[in-house]
Amino acid sequence: MPHAVARLRSARLARSAKPFLARGGPKGERCAGCRLVPSHCMCALRPNVPTRSGMCLLMADIEPLKPSNTGWLIADVVADTFAFGWARTEIDPALLALLSDPQWQPFVVFPSAFADAERVVNEVTHDTTKRPLFILLDGTWDEARKMFRKSPYLDRFPVLSLHPDQLSRYQLRRSQTEAHFCTAEVGAMCLDLANDTQASQTLDAYLDVYTTRYLLAKQQRPVDLMDAVHVKLQQLITHRSLAKEQVQFRGI
């Protein structure tokens, strides 16, 4: 079954008055499963990592259509990923239902400079009765700020402010500052704070493989399955599989 971002993309395409033509590949051809050109498809590498955390992506209008969007990668890795298109005057009832679901503790992930001090938190509270749900505002920096300001239904939730000690590695789009991170990088940091360490590391490695394949396709160069990024992702996937087999063997 297609994940939440793929379904949102299909719904957005259905509303389009004209086709969305992404650059790259013969006549813009791209794999429907990973959005890469077919020669560089990475669907076979999609990981399966259980998480306690959930992700809620609020996506700017054409964000689900962009091949460079990395919210798609989060949905590949985190099974409980929800995706909604954002509009100032319309709110999806399913989004409001999700935010009111008692199993979740929502956190709006955004810089503290834009929120009232009493809403800001820097850690994820590990409430045993609720699972963390990270709300990521997925768009350009200007779009994300607009979403944060003009979504009053988010005002009741704490604002999780991240303070990473590294610069962004993302290479597929230019940002106004090196302090801005792509959506998948932010998702990986949130998973780490929530102690979903295996998923955090896997998402980071999966992003590196996606970026590498995307750039190799642009340069019309072949994929090297033995390069550092592919080996790292494969090691994480293999480690996860071995650990699962050991648990099953012990009957746990």
Domain boundaries, the chain: 51-197
Question: Beta-strand (E) ranges in 6-103?
Answer: 54-59, 81-85
User: Quick check: pTM over 0.85?
Assistant: yes
pLDDT at 22 over 80: no
Average pLDDT score over the chain: 87
Give the model confidence (pLDDT) of 62-106 as tens digits.
999 999 999 999 999 999 999 999 999 999 999 999 999 999 999
- What backbone phi and psi angles, to 5 degrees, belong to 190? -65, -45
Q: Which two tokens stand for residue 72?
A: 């798609």
Output the pLDDT for position 18. Answer: 61
- What backbone phi and psi angles, to 5 degrees, belong to 136? -105, 130
pLDDT at 125 over 90: no
Q: Which two tokens stand for residue 144?
A: 């994300």
Q: Which two tokens stand for residue 39?
A: 């020669």
Give the model confidence (pLDDT) of 152-191 as tens digits.
999 999 999 998 765 555 555 554 444 578 999 999 999 9
Give dist(CA 242, CA 221) in Å, integer. Answer: 33
What confidence category does residue 25 fall into, taking pLDDT thresholds of 50, 70 and 90?
very low
Q: Specify the 3-state DSSP secondary structure of 231.
A: helix
Q: Which secondary-structure segment (H or E) carries 159?
A: strand 159-160
Place of tokens 């505002």: 137
